Chain A
Amino acid sequence: MKVLQDRQRVQGVRRKIIQVAAFGFTNSHIGNFVGGKIYKGSWKNFCSPGLNCYSCPAAGLGCPIGAMQAVENSPRFGISVYLLGFVLALGVLFGRAICGYVCPFGLLQELLHKIPSPKKHIPKPLTYIKYVLLAVFVLLIPAVVTDKYGIGAPAFCEYICPAGTLEAGVPLLLAHPELRMQLGGLFLLKAAILVLTIVGCIIVCRFFCKIMCPLGAIYGLLNKISLYRVHVEQAGCISCGTCREICPMHVDPVTHPDSAECIRCGKCAAACPKQVIHIGLWNKKTSITEME
Chain B
Amino acid sequence: MYKGTRTPCRNTWIRQINAKAGAMELKGRKRTYIGIGVLAVAVSLIAIGIARDEMLTVFVRAINICLECIGLG
Task: Known pairs A55-B69, A92-B35; list 5 more (Cβ under 8 Å).
Answer: A85-B45, A164-B69, A169-B71, A186-B72, A286-B25
Chain A contacts for B15, CB-based, 8 A: 290
Bound-state Cα–Cα, A76 to B47, Å:
17
Which B-chain residue is minimally distant from A222 (CB atoms)? Answer: B38
Q: Does A82 sit at the interface, judged by CB under 8 A?
A: yes
Q: Does A158 sit at the interface, judged by CB under 8 A?
A: yes
Chain A contacts for B11, CB-based, 8 A: 290-291
Bound-state Cα–Cα, A153 to B68, Å:
9
Are A93 and B39 in touch, CB under 8 angstroms?
Answer: yes
Are B73 and A89 in touch, CB under 8 angstroms?
Answer: no
Listed in ascending order, the chain B residues whose CB lies under 8 Å from chain A are: 7, 10-11, 14-15, 17-18, 20-22, 24-25, 28-29, 31-32, 34-36, 38-39, 41-50, 52, 54-55, 57-59, 61-66, 68-73
Are A82 and B71 in touch, CB under 8 angstroms?
Answer: no
* CB pairs A–B below 8 angstroms (25 shown): A38-B64, A45-B58, A53-B69, A54-B61, A54-B62, A55-B66, A55-B70, A62-B59, A77-B54, A84-B49, A89-B39, A92-B38, A93-B39, A164-B69, A165-B70, A168-B69, A179-B70, A184-B73, A186-B71, A187-B72, A286-B24, A286-B25, A287-B21, A288-B17, A291-B14
Are A179 and B48 in touch, CB under 8 angstroms?
Answer: no
